Structure 1
Amino acid sequence: MRVGLIAGDPGHPVLAAAAELLMRQGHEVAAVPPAGPVVDLADVYLLKARTPQALALARELERRGAPVVNSAAATELCQDRVRTADLARAAGLPFAETAVVGLIGELADPAYPFVVKSRRSRRDDLVARVDGPDRLRELAGRWPEEPVVTQPFVPGTGWDQKLWVVDGQVFAARRQSELATSTGKSGRAEDWEPSAERAALALRVGEVFGLDVYGVDLLDGPAEPVIVDVNAFPGVRGRAGAPEALAALALRVGASGVGVSCGAASRVAARQGARQG
């Protein structure tokens, strides 16, 4: 079987480990530059990159009949925090209330503290707690042209519950929240076993969003469960069994020619298009 990796970094740990497993079994694994083009189709593609070029390539591969995990539609949806929140809340998921702002400098008389995030989810995007006007002015100066959304700040333990799902298998950890560190980056992590209810919630997210490989971020604290982010094809670093699950998913989807959640992804895109129309 031929497996294509659409990734800015094919050496990413989980991709590299899954690729090694597949090649040991005699399968062909090839990195596919996100900008393309692709002449000979592989049996299945894993879409790790989320750039506009990578999404355009994934859509073209799907048009030509190749299964892509996750689909281009589901991946693109998760990049928009407004669409993500709208779909989650419409499906009854406990997603944090998310308000569209426009540019950060356009915020008027906000209720402090609150959380501000880039509307478009991506690496090194804006995620910050705002405790007062000084902090707001600082962020506006650093991100003057950044479209943003806001979420209420919900007190917690200073940790996030991180759940990752690969083909229905749930992996988890608790990680120090980026909102609790001076650098704005998430800190140390520790092993954590989610309850059956948390695992079921994570699996439900995949059904709603049409995702096969994804992450769900939950607040850790008295207000839980509150979902604050859904990410398509996250890193899943350091989780034993994740590369094996990813390799098995690639083989199964490649053999069937249909992504596990392709139907769900199509319904997601249709619902979102109807709302926007």
Structure 2
Amino acid sequence: MRICLLTPDPGHPLLAATAELLAPDHRVESLDPTAGHAPPAELLGPGPLADVYLLKARTPRALALARHLEECGAPVVNSAAATGFCQDRTGMAELARAAGLPFAATRTAATLAQLPDPDFPLVVKSRYSRRHDLVARVDDAAQLHALAEQWPDEPVIAQPYLANTGWDQKLWVIAGQVFCARRRSELAAAAVAPAPGADAFGPRELPAERADLALRVGEVFGLDVYGVDLLDGPAEPVIVDVNAFPGIRGQAGAPEALAALALYAAHHGPAPRVPAALRVPGALRVTGAPRVPGQRSAGR
């Protein structure tokens, strides 16, 4: 099989480890979809397409290339539609809440200065997710005004700030396998000191209902490789973000799961994995690759 990594960083630990697993029996190559200005057909060059493409890039050029590949019949993981849908945090929140997922209440404004009736503290984020975008906790009007001066034309969303332990719960899923960790929150107050051992958060500590919630996110958003950021709300965990094809660093078994997914997609062809909001009623839904033999999802 010929597997192509669509990424500007093929040396990323997850991709490099996956490529090493595949390399003995398969041809693994990479293509930077963000380079240059050539249209997708010229970027691909002559010759046959790869058997599967792993899309670890989210720029407009990367999405255009992924759409072109799908139109040519090549399987792309994740799909261009699902990847693109996760870039708009307004659409993300609307889809999640419409599907009954416990997503944080989200308001949208054309700019920070136009944010209606802010209730502090709150979290503001760029509406469109990208590298080095705006993500900040705002405690009062003075902080909001200062941010508005720094980001005068930025479309934004606002979510209520949820008091928490100072640690984000990171859940990652690859073809139905759930991985998890706690990471120090960039938005936590400096005075919040984590409890001893609070960063230890492996699959055995993940409640089954949270693993099930992570899997439900993939069904709703049409994703096979994705991340879910959770915070503990007053009554239940609250989703604050969904990411298509995140880094998933340092998770034992993740490269094996990604390699198995790549081979599955290469053998079975493109799967119609699109966000629920874009699906045609009655269309076939494919749930993705089976789990790697001998491994179990967290919380199962």
TM-score, normalised on structure 2? 0.83
Write out per-residue CA displacement over residues 138-174 of structure 1, whole angstroms, 9 at most, x where no aligned residue: 2112211211000111111111111000010000001
* Structure 1 residue aligned with 2:274: 265
Does the 8 Å contact 2:95/2:276 carry over to 1?
Answer: no
For the aligned residue pairs, the C-alpha RMSD in angstroms reads: 1.7
Cα 1:155/1:10, change in 2 over 3 Å? same
What secondary structure is seen at the aligned counterpart in 2 of 1:58? helix
Measured after TM superposition, the shift of residue 134 of structure 1 is 1.5
97, 100, 116: which one aligns with 2:105: 97
Q: Per the alignment, do residues 12 and 65 of structure 1 end up closer, same or farther by CA in structure 2, a change over 3 Å counting?
A: same
Task: Give CA deviations for 1:176-228 in whole Å, capped at 9, x if unaligned.
Answer: 1111166xxxxx95433311000000000000110000000000354431000
Q: How does 1:60-79 map to 2 (within 5 A)?
A: 60-79=68-87
Which of 70-79 and 219-228 deviates more? 219-228
Question: Could you tell me which residue of structure 2 aligns to residue 176 of structure 1?
Answer: 184
In 1, the alpha carbon distance for the partners of 2:256 and 2:114 equals 47
User: Aligned partners of 1:190, 1:141: CA distance in 2, in Å?
Assistant: 39
* Uncovered stretches (5+) of structure 1, i.e. residues with no partner: 183-187, 272-277
1:203 paired with 2:211, answer no
Shift of 1:64: 0.2
Closer, same or farther: CA 94–221 of 1 in aligned 2, 3 Å = closer
Do 1:154 and 1:223's aligned partners in 2 also have CA atoms closer than 8 Å?
Answer: no
User: Of the two, which has the highest radius of gyration?
Assistant: 2
Gaps of 5+ in 2: 35-39, 191-197, 281-300
Q: Secondary structure at the match of 1:79?
A: coil
| Structure 2 residue 227 is the aligned partner of structure 1 residue 215 | yes
Q: Which amino acid in structure 1 is aligned with residue 68 of structure 2?
A: E
**2:30 corresponding residue in structure 1:** 31
Matched, 1:191 2:197: no
Is the 1:156–1:223 contact (alpha carbons within 8 Å) kept by the matching residues of 2? no
Structure 1 pair 226/46, CA: closer, same or farther in 2 (3 Å)?
Answer: same
Structure 2 equivalent of residue 11 of structure 1 = 11
Identity of aligned residues (%): 65
Out of 150, 163, 181, which is 1:142 matched to?
150
Structure 2: distance between partners of 1:162 and 1:138 = 30
Distance 1:230 1:161, change over 3 A: same
* Residue 232 (structure 1) aligned with residue 237 (structure 2): no
Residue 109 to residue 86, structure 1, CA distance change in 2 (3 Å)? closer
Q: How far apart are 1:46 and its partner, in Å?
A: 0.3
Q: How does 1:35-50 map to 2 (within 5 A)?
A: 35=34, 36=40, 37-38=43-44, 39=46, 40-50=48-58
Summarize deviations over 1:17-42 as a string: whole Å, max 9, x none: 00111002x20111112045113310
Q: 1:274 matched to which residue of 2?
A: none
Q: How far apart in 2 are the matches of 1:165 and 1:149?
A: 25
One-letter amino acid matched to 1:98: T
Q: TM-score, normalised by structure 1?
A: 0.90
Residue 88 to residue 144, structure 1, CA distance change in 2 (3 Å): same
How many angstroms does 1:229 deviate by? 0.3
**Distance (whole Å) between structure 1 residues aligned to residue 169 and residue 8 of structure 2:** 27
Give, as a single letter, the amino acid of the residue that structure 1 aligns with 2:210.
Answer: R
- Within the candidate set 249, 253, 271, 2:265 is matched to 253
2:293 matched residue in structure 1 = none
Greater Cα offset, 224-233 or 100-109: 100-109
* Structure 1 moving runs of 4+ over 2 Å: 188-193, 220-224, 266-271
Q: Give the structure 2 partner of residue 242 of structure 1.
A: 254
Residues 156, 222 of structure 1: 8 Å contact kept: no
- Pair 174,223 (structure 1): closer, same or farther in 2 beyond 3 Å: farther
Counting matched residue pairs gives 262
SS at match of 2:110: strand
Deviation at 1:246, TM superposition (A): 0.2
Distance in structure 2 (CA, Å) of the matches to 1:223 and 1:49: 35
Give 1:266 shift: 6.3
